[in-house]
């Protein structure tokens, strides 16, 4: 679930919680649990997903390295072929 959607659901939960008419102990416990969920959500590490631009750059870099690798191997194959002759 996305962070913004989860935050919205927690906001609605807090509004509903205010009107449930629960005992003060249960009300306090639910508010505490909700507060912990909000706190954990705010400290959730970001940056785990790369942007499209970063992914494209990574693919381009890997492609360049692959071309260099192929060129190196082609040169080695040519040298071996020449040595066999």
User: How many other β-carbons are positioned within 10 Å of the β-carbon of residue 15?
Assistant: 9
Give the per-residue pLDDT at 17.
86
Return the residue matching tokens 């970063």: 54
pLDDT digits (tens, 9 = 90+) for 10-39: 888 888 888 888 888 988 898 888 888 888
Confidence (pTM): 0.45
CA–CA separation, 13 and 30 (whole Å) = 10
Give the per-residue pLDDT at 27.
87
pLDDT digits (tens, 9 = 90+) for 33-85: 888 888 887 776 665 556 777 778 888 888 888 888 888 777 666 666 666 65
Strands (E), the chain: none
End-to-end CA distance of the chain: 64
- Residue 1 predicted with pLDDT over 70: no
CA–CA separation, 52 and 12 (whole Å) = 33
């Amino acid at each position: 679930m996305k962070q913004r959607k989860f935050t919205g659901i927690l906001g609605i939960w807090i509004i509903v919680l205010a009107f449930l008419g629960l005992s003060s102990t249960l009300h306090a416990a639910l508010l505490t649990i909700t507060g912990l969920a909000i706190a954990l959500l705010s400290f959730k590490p970001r940056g785990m997903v790369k942007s499209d631009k970063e992914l494209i750059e990574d693919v381009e870099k890997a492609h360049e390295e692959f071309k260099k690798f192929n060129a190196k191997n082609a040169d080695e194959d040519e040298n071996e072929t020449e040595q066999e002759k």
